[in-house]
Chains A and B, each alone.
Chain A
Amino acid sequence: MFEIFGIPSQALFGQLLIGLINGSFYALLSLGLAVIFGMLNIINFTHGAQYMLGAFAAYLLLQLTGLGYWPALVIAPILVGLSGIVIERTMLQWLYKLDHLYGLLLTFGIALILEGVFRNYYGSSGQPYQLPPSLSGGQNLGFMFLPNYRAWVVVTSLVVCFGTWFVIEKTRLGANLRAATENPTLVRAFGINVPRMITLTYGFGVGLAALAGVMAAPIYNVSPQMGSDIIIVVFAVVVIGGMGSILGAILTGFGLGVIEGLTKVFFPEASNTVIFVIMAVVLLIRPAGLFGRTA
C-alpha cells in the first residue's frame, strides 16, 4: 500500500478501473452513435433503449432458452441489430432528407415506447444477471485487485472499438463507407448499393449498443431505464468528442470515463457533473467538439 497525492493507491486504482469500465461503455455507445450519425445523418436517441434491449435479450435468452452469457454475447447483438434494420427500413429511411429534428423526435419516441413496454412487464427495479462462471474471480496485481470480468469488459471494448476504427479507416469496405458519408449519390452511381450499406450500418451501430448492453448486464442490473441513465452521459461524450468522428468517439469515451473516475477520488462532489462541465467548456471553445470537423 502506498499513497499518491495523499490518496491511498488502492482507492485511486479502484476508481481508475471503474472509470475505465464506464469508459468502455461510453466508448462503445458513442462509437455506434458516431457511425450512425455519419452514415444516416440521424441522431439516434433510441441508442440507450437498444443498449437496454441487448441486456434484456441476454436476460430473456437465459430465462426462456437457457442460453448463457457467451451465446448471448453473439445472439443478442444480432437480434437487436435486426430489430434496428426493421426500424431503419420501415421508418428512418424516410427522414434522411429532412431536418435532424425529425430523426431525433422519431428515435426519442421509439426509445420511450421500448422503455415503457419493458417497465410494464419487468418493473423498474431491475433483474440480476449472473457473471459467467469462467470470468468470476480476479487477479491480485500487487497494488490492486482486478476482477476478471472487469478486465474482460475493458479489453473487449478496446478490441471492438479499435477493430471498428480499423475497418472504417483502413479497409476497402471502410473507404466505401467514408465515401458514401461524403457523397452518397456519386458512390451509388459507381455501382455500389448505398441504401443497403446505410441499412447495414444502422444495424451494426445498434448491434454495438446491444453488445454493450450484454456486457453491462452482469455489472449493473438489467433494468428498463438502464439505457436512459447512461445515454445522457453518452450524448455529452459525443458532443465533447465531436459528432461523426470515429476515433474521437472512442478516445473521448475512455478518456471521460477515466476523468469521471479520478474526480470521484479527488473531488467526489463533482463526479456526477464533471462530464457536463467539460461539455459546456468544450462547447464554448470548440463548438464542433474536440475531434469534430466544422462543416
Chain B
Amino acid sequence: MLERTASPLLAIENLQAWYGESHILHGMNLEVQAGEVVTLLGRNGAGKTTTLKSVMGIVPQRTGSVRLEGKELIKLTSDKIAKAGIAFCPEERGIFASLDVKENLFLPPELKPGGLSASRIFELFPNIKERLRSQGTKLSGGEQQMLAIGRILRTGARLLLLDEPTEGLAPVIIQQIGKTIQMLKSQGFTILLVEQNFRFASTVADRYYIMEHGKVVERFKNSELDAKLEKLHEYLGV
C-alpha cells in the first residue's frame, strides 16, 4: 500500500455507476494528491472512461463518494461539479462542428481564477492560433486534441480529467501532448489521466491504478513500473 496523506485533492470511495441496466463500476477507490499526475490503466471496458464521467457527473446513476478538497460531489449535476473546479477532456474530444476554433476555445466559461490566458495557450499550441476562424472539426486530429485540452486550461479548474489524449495521434503530436502535461504539472495542475498507451503514461505519471471489471486491482508508483511490468502485461493483455 502507498502512504496516504490526510487530505487528497480528489478522493473516490466505493464508487458504483450504471448505464441503464448495466452495472459498470463496482466500488472504485482512488485518491489523487494535489499536483500529481495519476494514470488509470486497464483493458477496454474496464470502466476507466466511466470513472472519469462519474467524477464529472455525466453518468447519471452513481453512488458512493467523490470528494474534491473534502467537498462531496456525488449528488451534484455536472455543471456544479465543473464549478467546483474539475474540467474534463473527453475521449472523442468533443470539438463542436457548428463552432469555429475560436468559439470552441472560448466555450468553457472561466469558473475560477488561475486559468491559463489565451496567449499562453497559443504559445503551447501555435497551430490553434493560426486556425482560429476554421470550423472546429476541420482541424486535424492532433489539432483537435490540442484544442480540446487547450480550452479547459482557461477555466481555472485545477483538476483535469484527460481521457486518452494520445489515441490515434502521430508520435510527434503525442510528444507535444506529453510536454504539455509535464508543463501543466510543473504549474501545479493535478491530472487524472486515462491511457491505453502506458509507454506514454510512463513519461508523465507519478502513480498508476489498474482497473478490471469496474474496480481497482492494483496501484503502484512510477518508480515501481519496471518491477510491475510483467504483471502489467498480464492485466492489459499486451
Contact = CB atoms under 8 A, between A and B. Distances in A.
A179 interface: yes
Interface stretch (B64-72, B89-97, B190-198): B89-97
Interface centre among B94, B106, B152 (most CB of A within 10 A): B94
Contact of A175 (B56, B79, B83, B106): B106
Interface in B57-110: 57-58, 77-79, 81-83, 87-88, 90, 94, 96-99, 103, 106-109
B76 to A, nearest CB: 11
A189 B88 CA distance: 7
B107 A175 contact: yes
B148 to A, nearest CB: 10
A149 to B, nearest CB: 37
Most interface-central of A172, A179, A186 (chain B CB within 10 A):
A186
A179 B107 contact: yes
Contacts of B81: 189
Interface string A175-215: 11011011101111111111000000000000000000000
B79 A192 contact: yes
Interface residues of B, number: 25
A175 B79 CA distance: 17
A86 B152 CA distance: 34
A181 B99 CA distance: 11
Secondary structure of the B contact surface, majority rule: loop
A207 B15 CA distance: 44
B111 interface: yes
Contacts of A183: 94, 96
Contacts of A193: 79
Contacts of A178: 96, 98-99, 103
Q: How large is the interface on A (under 10, 10 to 19, 20 to 34, 35 or more residues)?
A: 10 to 19
Interface in A136-183: 172, 175-176, 178-179, 181-183
B57 A175 contact: no
Contact of A190 (B82, B97, B103): B82
A181 to B, nearest CB: 7
B155 interface: yes
B99 to A, nearest CB: 5
A178 B106 CA distance: 13
A193 B155 CA distance: 15
A281 to B, nearest CB: 28
A191 B94 contact: no
Given A189-B79, A189-B82, A182 B98 contact: yes
A191 B97 contact: no
A172 B106 contact: yes
A190 B109 contact: yes
A14 B97 CA distance: 43
B159 to A, nearest CB: 13
B107 A191 contact: no
Interface of B: 56-58, 77-79, 81-83, 87-88, 90, 94, 96-99, 103, 106-109, 111, 152, 155
12 contacts: A172-B106, A175-B99, A178-B103, A183-B94, A185-B78, A188-B79, A189-B56, A190-B82, A190-B109, A190-B152, A191-B108, A192-B79
Given A178-B103, A179-B107, A185-B58, 18 more contacts: A175-B107, A178-B98, A183-B96, A185-B78, A186-B90, A188-B79, A189-B56, A189-B78, A189-B81, A189-B88, A190-B79, A190-B82, A190-B87, A190-B107, A190-B109, A190-B152, A191-B109, A194-B79
Among all A-B residue pairs, the 5 with the closest Cβ atoms: A191-B82, A190-B108, A175-B103, A189-B78, A178-B98
